[in-house]
């Protein structure tokens, strides 16, 4: 693949931007760094709803990331119309996120709106469930594992220009 004049960009989105999308952002960032592509790729996360704007991620999300030696510093923010023009790829974590993203996308959107779980995960495992009301860290660990597989597979396919 030839050199690009600007970075490719990814936005990870969930309902509140405190559980799934920060984990996905951190994991994608780690995958990018391990591939030595931090000069070519940029990743952020955002929320569909503004309930937690300005908040740090759920402590269980941060704890799971820390167990995998991934640090995360970020605060919840709400998705904007401009994000659809700024980012190349916007990922929802579940079908509800995906439907909301498609409704919100302006006609002149640059971003491809995709389900993160469609990359590398088995058909019955593609939904990255919201763990907000769950007890303990296990559901967050499952999100981390799914994101690890999906982010790696997405980056592989994107680098080979196989994303439709």
Query: Could you give the number of structural domains in the chain?
Result: 1
For residue 108 the two structure tokens come to 């002149």
The torsion angles phi and psi of 116, rounded to 5 degrees, stand at -55, -40
Question: Is-catalytic flag, 20?
Answer: yes
Does residue 93 lie within any of the structural domains?
A: yes
Residue 146 domain-assigned?
A: yes
Active site residue 77: no
Q: Does residue 27 lie in a domain region?
A: yes
Identify whether 3 is part of a domain: no
58 is catalytic: no
Residue 20 is part of a domain; what is its CATH number? 3.40.50.2300
pTM of the predicted structure, to 2 decimals: 0.94
Other CB atoms within a 10 A radius of the CB of residue 73 amount to 9
What is the mean pLDDT of the segment spanning 139-156? 98
The pLDDT tens digits for 85-126 are 999 999 999 999 999 999 999 999 999 999 999 999 999 999
In a domain, 117, yes or no: yes
Catalytic residue among 83, 94, 130, 147: 130
**Residue 18 counted as domain residue:** yes
Domain of 14 in residue numbering reads as: 8-159
pLDDT at 161: 82
């Amino acid at each position: 693949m030839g050199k690009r004049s600007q970075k490719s960009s990814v936005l990870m989105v969930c309902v509140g931007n405190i559980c799934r999308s920060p984990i996905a952002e951190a994991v994608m960032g780690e995958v990018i760094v391990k591939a030595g592509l931090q000069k070519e790729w940029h990743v952020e996360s955002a929320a569909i709803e503004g309930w937690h704007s300005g908040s740090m991620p759920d402590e269980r999300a941060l704890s799971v990331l820390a167990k995998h030696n991934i640090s995360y510093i970020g605060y919840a923010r709400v998705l904007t119309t401009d994000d659809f023009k700024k980012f190349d790829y916007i990922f929802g974590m579940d079908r509800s996120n995906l439907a909301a993203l498609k409704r919100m996308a302006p006609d002149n959107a640059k971003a491809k709106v995709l389900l993160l779980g469609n990359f590398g995960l088995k058909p019955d495992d593609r939904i990255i469930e919201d763990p907000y009301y769950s007890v303990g860290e296990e559901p967050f660990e499952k999100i981390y594992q799914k994101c690890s597989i999906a982010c790696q597979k997405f980056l592989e396919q994107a680098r080979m220009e196989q994303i439709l």
